[in-house]
Amino acid sequence: MLPILNIGPFAIPTAELLLLAGLWFGLTLAEKHAPRHGLNTDTLYNFVFVMLISGLVTGRLGYAARHLDAFLASPASLVSLNRGVLDPVAALGGGLIAGWIFGQRKSLSLLPALDALAPLLGVLLVTSALANLASGDAYGAETTLPWAIPLWGAARHPVQLYEATAAGLILGYLFPHPRMPNRLPGMDFLLLIAWSAGARLFFEAFRGDSLTTLGGLRTAQVAAWLALAAALWGITRLRRAKPEPQKILQ
Protein backbone atom coordinates (compact mmCIF):
# COMPACT_ATOMS: atom_id res chain seq x y z
CA MET A 1 0.00 0.00 0.00
CA LEU A 2 1.37 3.40 -1.03
CA PRO A 3 -1.37 6.02 -0.61
CA ILE A 4 0.96 9.01 -0.95
CA LEU A 5 3.93 9.42 -3.27
CA ASN A 6 6.38 11.97 -1.93
CA ILE A 7 8.37 13.74 -4.65
CA GLY A 8 10.49 16.48 -3.11
CA PRO A 9 8.17 18.89 -1.33
CA PHE A 10 5.10 17.46 -3.10
CA ALA A 11 2.79 14.79 -1.66
CA ILE A 12 0.86 13.23 -4.54
CA PRO A 13 -2.04 10.78 -4.00
CA THR A 14 -0.81 7.63 -5.71
CA ALA A 15 -4.25 6.27 -6.63
CA GLU A 16 -5.27 9.48 -8.38
CA LEU A 17 -1.91 9.60 -10.19
CA LEU A 18 -2.43 6.06 -11.47
CA LEU A 19 -5.92 6.89 -12.69
CA LEU A 20 -4.65 9.96 -14.55
CA ALA A 21 -1.88 7.89 -16.10
CA GLY A 22 -4.48 5.31 -17.12
CA LEU A 23 -6.65 7.99 -18.68
CA TRP A 24 -3.70 9.31 -20.69
CA PHE A 25 -2.50 5.89 -21.84
CA GLY A 26 -6.04 4.71 -22.52
CA LEU A 27 -6.81 7.74 -24.66
CA THR A 28 -3.56 7.21 -26.56
CA LEU A 29 -4.48 3.59 -27.26
CA ALA A 30 -8.06 4.49 -28.17
CA GLU A 31 -6.76 7.17 -30.53
CA LYS A 32 -4.73 4.58 -32.43
CA HIS A 33 -7.73 2.25 -32.76
CA ALA A 34 -10.34 4.97 -33.47
CA PRO A 35 -9.82 5.04 -37.29
CA ARG A 36 -10.94 1.40 -37.42
CA HIS A 37 -14.34 2.61 -36.21
CA GLY A 38 -14.62 5.77 -38.29
CA LEU A 39 -13.89 8.27 -35.49
CA ASN A 40 -11.37 11.05 -35.84
CA THR A 41 -9.13 12.13 -32.98
CA ASP A 42 -10.95 15.38 -32.19
CA THR A 43 -14.33 13.67 -31.98
CA LEU A 44 -12.93 10.93 -29.74
CA TYR A 45 -11.30 13.36 -27.31
CA ASN A 46 -14.39 15.58 -27.16
CA PHE A 47 -16.59 12.54 -26.61
CA VAL A 48 -14.47 11.34 -23.68
CA PHE A 49 -14.10 14.84 -22.23
CA VAL A 50 -17.86 15.44 -22.21
CA MET A 51 -18.57 12.07 -20.57
CA LEU A 52 -15.77 12.49 -18.02
CA ILE A 53 -16.67 15.99 -16.89
CA SER A 54 -20.38 15.21 -16.78
CA GLY A 55 -19.71 12.04 -14.80
CA LEU A 56 -17.53 13.87 -12.28
CA VAL A 57 -20.07 16.66 -11.80
CA THR A 58 -23.12 14.42 -11.45
CA GLY A 59 -21.19 11.97 -9.26
CA ARG A 60 -20.13 14.73 -6.90
CA LEU A 61 -23.61 16.27 -6.82
CA GLY A 62 -25.14 12.85 -6.21
CA TYR A 63 -22.79 12.27 -3.28
CA ALA A 64 -23.54 15.76 -1.93
CA ALA A 65 -27.28 15.09 -2.10
CA ARG A 66 -26.80 11.96 0.02
CA HIS A 67 -24.63 13.82 2.58
CA LEU A 68 -26.25 17.24 2.37
CA ASP A 69 -25.56 18.35 5.94
CA ALA A 70 -21.82 17.74 5.62
CA PHE A 71 -21.57 19.69 2.37
CA LEU A 72 -23.69 22.58 3.67
CA ALA A 73 -21.28 22.84 6.61
CA SER A 74 -18.27 22.80 4.27
CA PRO A 75 -19.25 23.84 0.70
CA ALA A 76 -15.58 23.88 -0.39
CA SER A 77 -15.50 20.08 -0.12
CA LEU A 78 -17.52 19.97 -3.36
CA VAL A 79 -14.26 20.57 -5.23
CA SER A 80 -12.23 18.09 -3.18
CA LEU A 81 -9.76 15.89 -5.09
CA ASN A 82 -10.81 12.88 -2.99
CA ARG A 83 -12.09 10.27 -5.47
CA GLY A 84 -14.14 8.68 -2.69
CA VAL A 85 -16.46 11.71 -2.60
CA LEU A 86 -18.38 10.50 -5.65
CA ASP A 87 -21.63 8.63 -6.13
CA PRO A 88 -20.70 5.97 -8.73
CA VAL A 89 -24.28 5.42 -9.92
CA ALA A 90 -24.87 9.15 -10.44
CA ALA A 91 -21.47 9.49 -12.13
CA LEU A 92 -22.13 6.61 -14.50
CA GLY A 93 -25.63 7.82 -15.29
CA GLY A 94 -24.50 11.40 -15.89
CA GLY A 95 -21.62 10.31 -18.09
CA LEU A 96 -23.75 7.99 -20.20
CA ILE A 97 -26.51 10.58 -20.69
CA ALA A 98 -23.97 13.24 -21.67
CA GLY A 99 -22.29 10.80 -24.06
CA TRP A 100 -25.64 9.92 -25.62
CA ILE A 101 -26.52 13.60 -26.12
CA PHE A 102 -23.08 14.30 -27.61
CA GLY A 103 -23.42 11.30 -29.93
CA GLN A 104 -26.85 12.47 -31.09
CA ARG A 105 -25.59 15.98 -31.83
CA LYS A 106 -22.58 14.66 -33.72
CA SER A 107 -24.56 11.91 -35.46
CA LEU A 108 -22.30 9.19 -34.07
CA SER A 109 -23.28 5.57 -34.54
CA LEU A 110 -23.62 3.96 -31.12
CA LEU A 111 -21.81 0.66 -31.67
CA PRO A 112 -18.69 2.05 -33.42
CA ALA A 113 -18.46 4.77 -30.74
CA LEU A 114 -18.55 2.16 -27.97
CA ASP A 115 -15.92 0.13 -29.81
CA ALA A 116 -13.69 3.21 -30.04
CA LEU A 117 -13.97 3.70 -26.26
CA ALA A 118 -13.29 0.03 -25.43
CA PRO A 119 -9.45 0.31 -25.31
CA LEU A 120 -9.73 3.27 -22.93
CA LEU A 121 -12.11 1.32 -20.69
CA GLY A 122 -9.76 -1.67 -20.76
CA VAL A 123 -6.79 0.42 -19.62
CA LEU A 124 -8.84 2.06 -16.86
CA LEU A 125 -9.79 -1.37 -15.54
CA VAL A 126 -6.07 -2.12 -15.14
CA THR A 127 -5.14 1.18 -13.50
CA SER A 128 -8.20 1.27 -11.24
CA ALA A 129 -7.16 -2.10 -9.79
CA LEU A 130 -3.62 -0.78 -9.25
CA ALA A 131 -5.08 2.38 -7.69
CA ASN A 132 -7.00 0.20 -5.25
CA LEU A 133 -3.78 -1.59 -4.36
CA ALA A 134 -2.04 1.73 -3.72
CA SER A 135 -4.86 3.05 -1.51
CA GLY A 136 -5.66 -0.24 0.23
CA ASP A 137 -9.23 -0.27 -1.11
CA ALA A 138 -11.03 -3.34 -2.47
CA TYR A 139 -8.72 -5.55 -0.40
CA GLY A 140 -8.63 -9.34 -0.37
CA ALA A 141 -9.75 -11.88 2.19
CA GLU A 142 -7.31 -13.24 4.73
CA THR A 143 -5.19 -16.15 3.53
CA THR A 144 -2.12 -18.23 4.43
CA LEU A 145 -0.91 -18.54 0.83
CA PRO A 146 2.78 -17.66 0.33
CA TRP A 147 2.02 -14.74 -2.01
CA ALA A 148 -0.27 -13.02 0.50
CA ILE A 149 0.38 -9.33 1.16
CA PRO A 150 0.23 -7.63 4.58
CA LEU A 151 -2.68 -5.20 4.60
CA TRP A 152 -4.88 -3.80 7.36
CA GLY A 153 -3.25 -5.96 9.99
CA ALA A 154 -3.56 -9.32 8.22
CA ALA A 155 -2.08 -11.41 5.40
CA ARG A 156 -4.50 -11.09 2.51
CA HIS A 157 -5.07 -12.17 -1.08
CA PRO A 158 -3.55 -9.54 -3.41
CA VAL A 159 -6.89 -9.45 -5.18
CA GLN A 160 -6.10 -6.04 -6.70
CA LEU A 161 -3.12 -7.62 -8.48
CA TYR A 162 -5.28 -10.53 -9.59
CA GLU A 163 -7.73 -8.10 -11.16
CA ALA A 164 -5.03 -5.89 -12.71
CA THR A 165 -3.31 -8.92 -14.27
CA ALA A 166 -6.57 -10.29 -15.65
CA ALA A 167 -7.55 -6.89 -17.06
CA GLY A 168 -4.13 -6.53 -18.68
CA LEU A 169 -4.37 -9.95 -20.31
CA ILE A 170 -7.88 -9.20 -21.59
CA LEU A 171 -6.70 -5.85 -22.97
CA GLY A 172 -3.74 -7.43 -24.76
CA TYR A 173 -5.87 -10.24 -26.18
CA LEU A 174 -8.67 -8.02 -27.51
CA PHE A 175 -6.54 -5.13 -28.81
CA PRO A 176 -3.13 -6.53 -29.84
CA HIS A 177 -2.38 -3.76 -32.39
CA PRO A 178 -4.19 -0.92 -34.23
CA ARG A 179 -4.07 -2.73 -37.60
CA MET A 180 -5.92 -5.77 -36.35
CA PRO A 181 -8.86 -6.96 -38.50
CA ASN A 182 -12.18 -5.29 -37.78
CA ARG A 183 -14.82 -7.20 -35.85
CA LEU A 184 -18.54 -6.65 -36.18
CA PRO A 185 -19.62 -3.19 -34.95
CA GLY A 186 -20.14 -3.39 -31.20
CA MET A 187 -18.17 -6.63 -30.82
CA ASP A 188 -15.02 -5.03 -29.33
CA PHE A 189 -17.03 -3.39 -26.57
CA LEU A 190 -19.21 -6.42 -25.81
CA LEU A 191 -16.25 -8.80 -25.70
CA LEU A 192 -14.48 -6.49 -23.25
CA ILE A 193 -17.59 -6.35 -21.04
CA ALA A 194 -18.06 -10.12 -21.18
CA TRP A 195 -14.46 -11.01 -20.34
CA SER A 196 -14.22 -8.33 -17.63
CA ALA A 197 -17.51 -9.38 -16.04
CA GLY A 198 -16.34 -12.99 -16.01
CA ALA A 199 -13.08 -11.98 -14.33
CA ARG A 200 -14.91 -9.90 -11.72
CA LEU A 201 -17.29 -12.77 -11.07
CA PHE A 202 -14.34 -15.06 -10.31
CA PHE A 203 -12.06 -12.73 -8.38
CA GLU A 204 -14.85 -11.27 -6.24
CA ALA A 205 -14.75 -14.56 -4.32
CA PHE A 206 -11.33 -13.53 -2.97
CA ARG A 207 -12.45 -10.08 -1.79
CA GLY A 208 -12.52 -9.30 1.92
CA ASP A 209 -14.76 -6.23 1.80
CA SER A 210 -17.61 -7.35 -0.45
CA LEU A 211 -21.06 -5.88 0.01
CA THR A 212 -23.82 -8.47 0.23
CA THR A 213 -27.48 -8.35 -0.68
CA LEU A 214 -30.48 -10.58 0.07
CA GLY A 215 -29.56 -14.19 0.66
CA GLY A 216 -25.93 -13.34 1.30
CA LEU A 217 -25.21 -12.83 -2.40
CA ARG A 218 -22.30 -10.55 -3.18
CA THR A 219 -23.58 -7.38 -4.85
CA ALA A 220 -20.64 -7.18 -7.26
CA GLN A 221 -21.17 -10.77 -8.39
CA VAL A 222 -24.85 -10.13 -9.04
CA ALA A 223 -23.90 -7.09 -11.13
CA ALA A 224 -21.22 -9.13 -12.93
CA TRP A 225 -23.73 -11.87 -13.75
CA LEU A 226 -26.12 -9.30 -15.22
CA ALA A 227 -23.34 -7.62 -17.24
CA LEU A 228 -22.09 -10.99 -18.52
CA ALA A 229 -25.60 -12.09 -19.51
CA ALA A 230 -26.29 -8.79 -21.29
CA ALA A 231 -22.95 -8.91 -23.13
CA LEU A 232 -23.44 -12.53 -24.25
CA TRP A 233 -26.96 -11.70 -25.40
CA GLY A 234 -25.61 -8.76 -27.40
CA ILE A 235 -22.82 -10.87 -28.93
CA THR A 236 -25.35 -13.50 -29.98
CA ARG A 237 -27.57 -10.84 -31.57
CA LEU A 238 -24.65 -9.34 -33.49
CA ARG A 239 -23.54 -12.71 -34.84
CA ARG A 240 -27.06 -13.65 -35.90
CA ALA A 241 -27.49 -10.30 -37.65
CA LYS A 242 -24.21 -10.69 -39.61
CA PRO A 243 -25.03 -10.75 -43.36
CA GLU A 244 -24.31 -14.03 -45.08
CA PRO A 245 -21.49 -13.89 -47.69
CA GLN A 246 -23.75 -14.82 -50.61
CA LYS A 247 -26.18 -12.03 -49.73
CA ILE A 248 -23.37 -9.49 -49.68
CA LEU A 249 -22.36 -10.45 -53.23
CA GLN A 250 -25.89 -10.20 -54.63
Each residue's pLDDT tens digit, 13-67: 888 899 999 999 999 999 999 988 888 888 999 999 999 999 989 988 888 887 7
pLDDT the model gives residue 243: 60
> Could you tell me if residue 241 is inside a domain?
yes
Domain span holding position 220: 118-250
Max CA distance (Å), the chain: 70
Average pLDDT of the residues in 95-114 = 90
Residue 215 neighbours by CB under 8 Å, 6+ apart = none
148: left (phi over 0), alpha (psi -120 to 50) or beta: beta
Confidence band (pLDDT; 50, 70, 90) for 122?
very high
Q: Which residue has the higher pLDDT, 22 or 218?
A: 22
> Could you tell me if residue 191 is inside a domain?
yes
Is this prediction's pTM over 0.75?
A: yes
- CA end-to-end span of the chain, whole Å? 61
> Could you tell me if residue 198 is inside a domain?
yes
- Strand pairing class (154-156; 10-13): unpaired
Average pLDDT of the residues in 85-93 = 81
> Could you tell me if residue 171 is inside a domain?
yes
Helices (H) and strands (E) in the chain, counts: 9, 4
Tell me how long the chain is.
250
Instruction: Give how many domains the chain has, as a whole number.
Output: 1
> Could you tell me if residue 136 is inside a domain?
yes
Hey, is 59 helix, strand or coil? helix
Rounded to 10 deg, the angle between the 41-66 and 110-135 helix axes is 50
> Could you tell me if residue 162 is inside a domain?
yes
In this prediction, what percent of the chain has a pLDDT beyond 90?
A: 52
> Could you tell me if residue 129 is inside a domain?
yes
> Could you tell me if residue 142 is inside a domain?
yes
Average pLDDT of the residues in 72-100 = 78
